[in-house]
Structure 1
Amino acid sequence: MSADFSARAVALAGACAGDVEIHSAIAEFRDLIGTLGLAHSVCGAWTGVSTHRVHRFFFNDWPEDWLALYNEKQIFADDPFVEEARRSMTLYLWSEVEKRRPLTPRAQAVYDIGRAYGWREVVGVPIHGPMGYQGLVSLASFDTATFSPQERACLDLMSRALHERCRREIGFGLVSEDMPKLTAREIECMQWVAVGKTDWEIAQVLGISRSTAHFHVEGAKKKLGSTSRSECVTRLALYGLL
């Protein structure tokens, strides 16, 4: 890695911490990753759970025919590369995911589709935030690529900085709705739901009737806009109420 690459990567990260113009920052980012053989990039995020989940691309220059194939094959739901973003805290490679754990038949099929298309390496930089916020910056190459520890560090640094600059530009992932106002009893009941207790068991623990326990659980579900107990537990956990 050249000193110039390192200096430019650090400068880009610093600029993104300020109010650098988005399009110029993305152009500099693409130019920098291109020097490492990474021809395409995408940056996006998702937040929320179940029917409340929202996805957003900040920038995406994936080839049009690959995007069409990705959507046609409905790869996103089974993409092990995307799934790895939920498990990893640091930069990872497409080639590493395949070796890290056994792939399901569907996940292996996704790899086969990617290789047949021509991908040889993809870099993933996972982003984790509050309230279930999840971001991912992906950088792809049609050539076999290797990266030194210093190059990986620079890719990680500027990817995270650019992602945050893009997110901050539009305020994506910020909680715009008021925190749900559950009663103390509703939260108490849901705490027991979270550990697998039934309405009858909750009633025994709290010294209330089964119907009263059910009433409080249903009240919590309604306030959270949840259709199931598991979804309600997940959303309460994301709000930090469990």
Structure 2
Amino acid sequence: MELLQAAAQELGFDYVALLHHRSLERPAAGFIRLDTYPEGWEDELRSRSLIGHDPVHRASERTHVGFSWRELAELVPIGPRARELLDEARRFGIGEGFTVPANIPGEPGGSCSFAVKTGGKIPVGRLLCAEQVGAHAFRAARRLHGYARIIRSRPHLSRRERQCVRLVAAGKSDWEIARILGISIETVHQYVKRARSAYDVVSRAQLVACGLRDAVISFGEAVPER
């Protein structure tokens, strides 16, 4: 953390926060959480029931590149609770900021944020450097927390099982999958059953969710194009 804090200060920022967003809701669950925000900030969020309303965290789910907090309204709706959180942040001395999203399939959403004190200006000329620092810092934190091992331990599906999962995600019935792949309906049943068993889930919806999480299928395959 000392190295990241020193890098943030060298770039011209006063605060830095690198975390899985769910770490605020479940602090003892093993999520990544490092920050130098003012003391009492998290307690204030809890006392006002503002955890879960952070527009920075929601905006991080909508983009894969770094963004200034001044761009928040372009990325997500800013409702009353989100506005209250931003007002409280300023009251605690947290002013403008810049966030680098960390969205990795199969892992909780996260980010690395850099901020200046209230009234300060973010170092616009150094934001590309901040984006690089944030991305590499999050990768290092994942490695130290063992998240790379989680990826390697996921179930392996055969080629046919993956094909069936993708077609299930596209809304095809077993009969339709059988026609598309040129196999029997019973064989499709078995492939889908084995895929559900591999993920230890009971429904097709859960199977699709696992497939999206592990990048077995893409959102383009699961969501019809308009």
Query: 161, 165, 168: which one pairs with 2:143?
Result: 168
Greater relative contact order (Cα < 8 A, sep 6+): 1
d(CA) in 1 for partners of 2:75, 2:162:
38
Identity level (%): 20
Q: Report how far residue 72 of structure 1 moved.
A: 4.7
**Are 2:77 and 1:103 aligned?**
yes
Secondary structure, aligned partner of 2:118: coil
Structure 2 unpaired stretches of 5+: 23-28, 218-226
Shift of 1:193: 0.6
Q: Relative to structure 1, is the Cα distance of residues 183 and 27 closer, same or farther in structure 2, using a 3 angstrom cutoff?
A: closer
Question: Contact 1:76–1:82 (CA<8 Å) still a contact in 2?
Answer: no
| 80-89 or 122-131, which deviates more | 122-131
Q: Does 1:28 align with 2:3?
A: no
Q: In the superposition, relative to structure 1, how do residues 196 and 40 fare at CA in structure 2: closer, same or farther (>3 Å)?
A: same
Distance (whole Å) between structure 2 residues aligned to residue 127 and residue 101 of structure 1:
16
**1:208 matched residue in structure 2:** 184
Whole-angstrom CA distance in 2 between matches of 1:31 and 1:177: 36
**What TM-score does the superposition give when structure 2 sets the normalisation length?**
0.71
CA distance, structure 2, for counterparts of residue 24 and residue 137 of structure 1:
15
Structure 2 counterparts to residues 114-125 of structure 1, below 5 A: 114-117=86-89, 118=91, 119-125=94-100
Task: Indicate conservation of the 8 Å contact 1:41/1:62, yes or no.
Answer: yes
CA RMSD of aligned residues (A): 3.3
**C-alpha spacing 1:43/1:196, structure 2 compared with 1 (3 Å):** same
1:140 to 2:112 alignment:
no
Among 14, 17, 23, the residue aligned to 1:42: 17
Q: Provide TM-score, normalisation by structure 1.
A: 0.67
Alignment of 1:1-242 (within 5 A): 23-32=1-10, 36=12, 38-45=13-20, 56-72=31-47, 75-98=50-73, 100-101=74-75, 103=77, 105=79, 108-117=80-89, 118=91, 119-129=94-104, 131=106, 134-175=109-150, 177-206=152-181, 207-209=183-185, 212-242=187-217
Give secondary structure in 2 for the equivalent of 1:87.
coil
Deviations for 1:95-122, whole angstroms, at most 9, x for unmatched residues? 2112x146164xx421223213424323
* Contact 2:95/2:119 (8 A) holds in 1: yes
Q: From the superposition, tell whether residues 237 and 58 of structure 1 become closer, same or farther in structure 2 (CA, over 3 Å).
A: same
The amino acid that maps onto 2:118 is: D
Q: Report the AA paired with residue 208 of structure 1.
A: S
Q: Which amino acid aligns with 1:202?
A: I
Match of 2:221 in 1: none
- Would the alpha carbon gap of residues 145 and 88 (structure 1) be closer, same or farther in structure 2, given more than 3 Å must change? farther
